[in-house]
Amino acid sequence: MLAAVLALLSTACGRDPPEQRLRDSVTQFQAAIEQRDAPALQEWLAADFVGPEGLDREGARRLAVGSFLRYRQLGVTVGPLDIAMQPDHATVRFTAALTGGSGRPLPEAARLYEVETGWREEDGDWRMTSARWSAKL
């Protein structure tokens, strides 16, 4: 019995804290964008995801695919994450510089955005529930 309790405690202690797991999720979401992987990107979105102007999970996937078709190369540089943790959700704010080009050294398009995302932990994984962004420049 004592061995089982110790094993359970060591597993719980070895797990990253929620904020670190959330930071890792944001990093993996960013990687999915840079890898032009729309299905992986969609997996990070909660089933009830809502974006600007009623954008839903499927609409976000289509938006990503359209961007991937328009730009052969996409880059995302995310500024420092400002995370507000709540018991059942979190808000992540950051700036994001998006660049896109057709293979030339300089991007054809570059934009800086202020981004606010909502996240919820589902079965141990963080999923994005909402996103808002506005052009900064």
Residue 104 confidence (pLDDT)? 53
Segments making up each domain of the chain, as ranges: 18-135
Picking from 54, 53, 33, the residue whose alpha carbon sits closest to that of residue 43 is 33
Residue 117 confidence (pLDDT)? 98
* Whether this model's pTM surpasses 0.85: no
8/19 Cα distance (integer angstroms): 21
**Given pLDDT bands bounded at 50, 70 and 90, which one contains residue 94?**
very high
Return the number of other C-beta atoms located less than 10 Å from residue 118's C-beta: 18
Residue written as tokens 């500024």?
Answer: 79
Q: Is the pLDDT of residue 70 over 60?
A: yes
Residue 74 confidence (pLDDT)? 80
Label residue 18 exposed, middle or buried (CB < 10 Å: 0-12, 13-18, 19+): middle
Picking from 113, 26, 36, the residue whose alpha carbon sits closest to that of residue 74 is 36
Digit-coded pLDDT (tens) for 121-131: 998 899 999 99
Sign of torsion, CA 16 21 24 28?
positive
Give φ, ψ of 56 to 5 degrees. -105, -175
Average pLDDT rounded to a whole number, residues 33-53: 94
- For strands 125-135 and 45-50, give the pairing: parallel
Q: Is the pLDDT of residue 4 over 60?
A: no
135/44 Cα distance (integer angstroms): 23
State whether residue 134 is helix, strand or coil.
strand
Sign of torsion, CA 78 56 130 41?
negative
Average pLDDT rounded to a whole number, residues 32-52: 94
Residue 88 confidence (pLDDT)? 86
18-135 CATH fold: Nuclear Transport Factor 2; Chain: A, (3.10.450)
Cβ–Cβ < 8 Å for 115, 98: no
Digit-coded pLDDT (tens) for 110-121: 788 999 999 999
